[in-house]
A and B are shown apart, each in its own frame.
Chain A
């Protein structure tokens, strides 16, 4: 497979000096204005690091700086900030692959944050930035490409024949931007599908290339309609590439201590998870029967706490569908691995009826919100 990017017209190119993470921080953030096509690196101050710990803190700080009290979600100055905390991407400690997305929400008009897995956040961290700010409104369908190995940021025009819906787009872009077959896992795509063009609650999808399933899976920053903001900016996708994740890519002061504590947690999860949370087998969907049994399941718009048809939505139903009887994580080294996918799943309704897709099993919120609560 060769890198075929001939259809992507380069609008802007910006190179930056690569440097490795120092004690969890890069001390700079990446600002991309898709309207004026300006790409800049902005320093992160010691004060910001101290006061606004973590991805959510950084995200809110940067959004605060970028907007005014009268800014609306669809103003060009509204930002989508993807930020990661200092331990993001650490492979020893389960659950550290998450990034935080912050923006003004089309649903409420006020700031919203959403937590998401997938490879994009850690790759961005190791590419040399603590956060990514997307601002402005593009005049054409734009793709932002960040190559952490080359030290390169490009704004590209999306080819006309590029698919728009996430399950096809993530796959197409991963294959276009990976250098070879072995590089597929080094690419992560952030995008929003067609639904985000027409609804205020569009989700933002973060992809990860699953080697075992030979295809992309996506995790969602589902809260507040941040996908709608992305589409409002005419950004088709943000593509991140980074190769070379290591045990101590975060540059911990005492990597041996991180290993020791991480391994302790790994072991406790492996031994106890089946008896307690079943995250490795069914994920958060195991809550369906727990909530139903304890009269807590959102039912009929929260009118009731129990649904007589609850068992039809219980985790056992999903577990039968999961196609790989192995933990299915969304970041390297997360032994909790609460994501569970079904590949070759045939769609029964909608425009893709009849086609086979790889899809993650539902989280508890989705199963309850779109199931018993309706």
Chain B
């Protein structure tokens, strides 16, 4: 099973409460650039929420120091003690969900903690689980 943050773009009104909650929890400051969850304007008053799906795991494969691993709950996490800040994980992330802050030592990402779920006034976010995709050998 994979625990992840499920998003619903249709309910999002772009208030950015989730960004504040996320950066406040992990960086002790209200700074959208330090939030693991991102909300992008998609035109005509609609929004697109970008956050790690915990599923593709390309960053886990790429990490040269094996600082990125998968927890028992299926969440992709970074061990800051092992991380050397090379940002290869940021480069391989297909949806820009692996984040970094200019001048910061380590990248950061969503670990499906759920703090943003409580902060969202519109119910656009929820912590959910999904089955792991089983790769079939060709």
CB-based contact B102/A259 at 8 Å = yes
B106 near A: Cβ within 8 Å? yes
Mark interface residues in B58-81 (1 if CB within 8 Å of A CB, else 0).
000110111000000000000000
Interface residue total, chain A, C-beta cutoff 8 A: 27
A72 near B: Cβ within 8 Å? no
A194 near B: Cβ within 8 Å? no
CB-based contact A333/B84 at 8 Å = yes
Q: How far is the CA of A185 from the CA of B102 in the complex (A)?
A: 27
B11 near A: Cβ within 8 Å? no
CB-based contact A332/B61 at 8 Å = no
B127 to chain A, nearest CB (A): 30
B53 to chain A, nearest CB (A): 19
CB-based contact B105/A246 at 8 Å = yes
The chain A residue sitting closest to B64, CB to CB, is A332
B95 near A: Cβ within 8 Å? no
Q: How far is the CA of A255 from the CA of B64 in the complex (A)?
A: 20
Residues of B within 8 A of A256 (CB): 102-103
Residues of A within 8 A of B64 (CB): 329, 331-334
The chain B residue sitting closest to A326, CB to CB, is B61
Q: How far is the CA of A263 from the CA of B105 in the complex (A)?
A: 14
Mark interface residues in A87-104 (1 if CB within 8 Å of B CB, else 0).
000011000000000000
B125 near A: Cβ within 8 Å? no
The chain B residue sitting closest to A330, CB to CB, is B64
Q: How far is the CA of A212 from the CA of B61 in the complex (A)?
A: 10
Mark interface residues in A140-171 (1 if CB within 8 Å of B CB, else 0).
00000000000000000000000000000000
CB-based contact B100/A335 at 8 Å = no
Residues of B within 8 A of A331 (CB): 64
Given A185-B65, A329-B64, verify A267-B91 contact (CB < 8 Å). yes
The chain B residue sitting closest to A89, CB to CB, is B84
Residues of A within 8 A of B65 (CB): 185, 211, 332
Residues of B within 8 A of A212 (CB): 66
CB-based contact A92/B66 at 8 Å = no
Contact of A246 among B85, B90, B91, B103 (CB under 8 A): B85
Which 6 pairs show the lowest CB-CB distances between chains A and B?
A333-B86, A247-B85, A266-B91, A256-B102, A91-B86, A256-B103
B interface list, Cβ under 8 A from A:
61-62, 64-66, 84-88, 90-92, 100, 102-106
Q: Known pairs A263-B100, A270-B91, A335-B91; list 20 more (Cβ under 8 Å).
A: A92-B87, A185-B65, A211-B65, A211-B66, A246-B84, A247-B84, A247-B105, A247-B106, A248-B105, A256-B103, A259-B87, A263-B90, A263-B91, A266-B88, A266-B91, A270-B92, A327-B62, A333-B64, A333-B88, A335-B86
